[in-house]
Amino acid sequence: MAMMKGFSNAFRVPELRKKILITLGLVVVCRLVAQIPTPGVNWTGLANIFRSMSEGSQGGFLDWFEVFTGGALGQCAIGSLSIWPYISAQIVIQLLGSVIPALEKLKKEGESGRQQLAQITRYLTIFLCVIQSWGIASALCNPQMLGLSINEPIVLNPGFGFKIMTVICMTTASLFIMWVADQITTFGIGNGASLIIMINITSRLPTALRALWDHYLGGGDLAKAQYASLAILILFFFMVVMGTVMLTQGVRKVPIHSARRSVVGGASFGMQQTFMPLRVNYTGVMPIIFAQPLIQIPSAIISKITTPGSMMHRFAQDLANPGAMHMIVYALLIMFFTFFWVATQFNAIDISENLKKGSSYIPGIRPGRATAEYLDDMMTKITLIGGTGLLIVALVPMMLMVSLEVPWVIASFFGGTSLLIIVGVALDTLRVMESHLLVRKYEGFLAHGTLRGRGGV
């Protein structure tokens, strides 16, 4: 009830209503870009090659990327790259900022440093767009390089001209979507890039619902399960969503005491008490994003360069398809990247120094090196818990596919990157809307307390 009242109140605030309408309009524009076809592509041949790839070892990665482009890749739309080159560039710059002193210095220079980093990120985005679009164009012109045999050409007039046209179209579309994301961030609600990714994922929901109907309620030969199984699956979905929300919002509050005195209205206040929130899922979806390509791409390459039936070929097939080996390697990669991301992004020494400069300390812990060691040890324990939770959420879709033979388009909404992004972005967006409502004395979306966002992607 409070949730519905919060949504109705959102349209009573002129500023918030304007932001919502701007966001919706720009999202529609992004979806239109994802539907514009790339010129010169034979749609029948394209459908055949995607069907062949889905049946082969490339299918897992292809289906995964198809979800995050909102179906644009399967249609070879000019928006096939979507916002991902920009996201990839941000991740690269963020990682390099931890090892390259010049980039780390820019992070600490305030607004001017952030603007320079943003400009570097845009240049890197253009580079990634050109490389990726050229790869797509080359694969369309020469599908044999992927080991696929086709009966009709995919490109009507293959050659250098088609490749250049495809690079220009896809790069321009991706940069346009990047600009739209910036406009949503500036004039709309929340982080524009995250919202576009979430919309791309949820755009596949009608297809998932249709597959769910055919799989459980289609009748005749289409129905493969009973109503009881569907009810259990729906109940399990709500349990997974609740667990994902808990994982996303979970924090460990570290008490912080400040010895600095402050004067307000002529009155002097002494020690102030607050806390430092350490997020349980500090890494967000990054470990899953890193782990998935590192399984699918090498396995696809190995399966193409080895002889069918050989030990290496069978190993590549087992690694690519959902199964025991795939899940074990996937789990190990997720845990590795979870600790790797925390090690590169969480700097306990900087935090301890900032606390010391601000005359703040953790009760019972000496300032300086002891504080850094305490925070590092605590973050390691929190990361183990968060990584385990992330691992469970990531493996749920594969378990459904293997044990219950649930199609991927349905299982992808039961966990993994899709569910984490949807839940995280939804919480962030609602938190932004709630802050506008509370400022204007309206009730928020919860009857008691306030929403808490992820604090980052």
CATH number at residue 162: 1.10.3370.10
Does residue 68 lie in a domain region? yes
| pLDDT band of 222, cuts 50, 70, 90 | very low
Cβ within 8 Å of residue 260, ≥6 positions away? 272, 358, 359, 360
Does residue 130 lie in a domain region? yes
Does residue 289 lie in a domain region? no
> Is residue 70 a contact partner of residue 196, using CB atoms and an 8 Å limit?
no
Tell me how many degrees the CA angle 54-57-59 measures, rounded to the nearest 5: 25
Choice among 70-74, 312-316, 407-411, 427-431 with the minimum mean pLDDT: 70-74
Report d(CA 317, CA 315) in Å as an integer: 5
Does residue 276 lie in a domain region? no
Average pLDDT over residues 234-241: 88
Give the per-residue pLDDT at 268.
47
Q: Between helices 2-10 and 14-33, what is the axis angle to 10°? A: 90
Give the per-residue pLDDT at 48.
66
Most confident of 126-130, 225-229, 318-322, 400-404: 126-130
What's the number of domains the chain is made of?
A: 1
| pLDDT band of 59, cuts 50, 70, 90 | very low
Instruction: Identify the domain containing residue 119 by its residue range.
Output: 19-191
Share of the chain above pLDDT 70, in %: 83
Most confident of 150-154, 187-191, 373-377, 411-415: 373-377
Give the per-residue pLDDT at 402.
79
Give the per-residue pLDDT at 168.
94
What separation in angstroms does the CA of 363 have from each of 255, 258, 260?
7, 10, 15
Average pLDDT over residues 342-356: 87
Concatenate the DSSP letters of all residues of 351-419 into one string: HHHHHHHTTEE-TTS-TTHHHHHHHHHHHHHHHHHHHHHHHHHHHHHHHHHHHS---HHHHGGGSHHHH
Give the per-residue pLDDT at 26.
93
* Torsion angle of C-alpha atoms 39, 40, 42, 45, degrees rounded to 10: -110
Does residue 52 lie in a domain region? yes
Most confident of 29-43, 120-134, 184-198, 389-403: 120-134
**181 vs 261, higher pLDDT:** 181
Residue 60 is which amino acid?
G
Mean of the per-residue pLDDT values of the chain: 80
Give the per-residue pLDDT at 221.
47
Give the per-residue pLDDT at 339.
92
Does residue 298 lie in a domain region? no
Does residue 66 lie in a domain region? yes
Reported as a single tens digit per residue, the pLDDT across 160-203 is 888 999 999 999 999 999 999 999 999 988 788 889 988 888 88
Does residue 409 lie in a domain region? no
